[in-house]
Each structure stands twice: as C-alpha cells, then as structure tokens.
Structure 1
Amino acid sequence: MNNLVPLHGRTPREICLSQPSSFTEAESAIQSLKKGQLLLVNLADLPPSSSQRISDYLAGSAHSLSGQCTEVGNGVFLFAPPSIPIQTALAITTD
C-alpha cells in the first residue's frame, strides 16, 4: 500500500443519475448541472423521438452552461458542468 498517491486539493464530486420518462423530468435534471454535479442520463428505454428530443435539450443546456456532454453507451449520456472536464481515453490496441 505504499504506492497510493493522495489527491490533495480535489473535492468530492457527486453524480446525479436520471432516467427521465418525460420532457418535464429532463428539465429538472438540468438543476444538477447548475449545482456543479455530473449528470448521467439513461434514455435507452424511450422511443427514439423522445430520446432525441430530450438528449438535444440536455446537450443544449450543458452547452449553454459551458459544460460538456458525451454518449457513454447506447442511449446513455454523461453531462458535465464546466468545472469537471470530460476526458476521453485513447483506445488500447494489441498487435
């Protein structure tokens, strides 16, 4: 256990999980971004038209707050406030 490195200066972050079934529920999920929380949204069970409308709304809201968004799975999206950058890992290939 001598290889543990303390992360000084880092504050704990919260992740808000959301699986909205309506546009109204998506509107309330934006409040977590405004509070500086990560927002993980599962839209996989919605009809394509509803999923598209909600994801567009959430992406636009994140963008207007200078945040970021990325799809992390089929119909699962991660939205981050500007204080938490999303970094994508490079794919590791083996020859």
Structure 2
Amino acid sequence: MKLKLALLALLAGSSLVAQAQAPAAAPARAEVKAEAKEAMKAGEVATGEKPAPAKAAKSTKKRAEVKAEAKEAAKAGTIPAGEKPVTGEAKK
C-alpha cells in the first residue's frame, strides 16, 4: 500500500513539473510569413541551387585612391595580367 501511495505521489509530482516547464508560445503563422517575406526581399534566403548572397563590405578608401594604387601596382608589375608572371614585390 505504501509503495502504491509513493508511486502515485511521484507520478503527480512529475506531472506538475512537466506542466511548469511548458515551452513559450510559438510565433503566429502571420508573423513567420512576414519575417520570411522580409528575408526574401533582403536577399537573405538561398533559392534553388545558388547560396544566399554575402553582404558586400564597405570600402574605407575613396575611388580615386584605389585607382591611384592600382595604377602604381600595374606600373610596378605587382598585378598579374594574362600569362605574364608578377615581376615586382607587393607592399607589406
């Protein structure tokens, strides 16, 4: 009799604990659809066989600075072109 009473108390206690640990409410279907639509517009969702595009990094240099550096590198021979090997050393 004591065994049955102990098992019944254990069962009741475990069910109370299980109910107390219920997960939080899931988002509504409309919320999930809105989030998916925003992600599609932002290009964050992979479609078909192509992966999701990576976000482009912003440059800290002005266009004129980049063009001047490229011109110098081409003059110094540090930019490979076609099958021609690199002749100069890159800046470090």
Query: Does TM, normalized by the shorter one, top 0.5?
Result: no
Q: Which has the higher contact order (CA 8 A, sep 6+)?
A: 1
Q: Which has the larger radius of gyration?
A: 2
Which of the pair is proportionally richer in helix? 2
TM-score (norm 2): 0.23
Which of the pair is proportionally richer in strand? 1
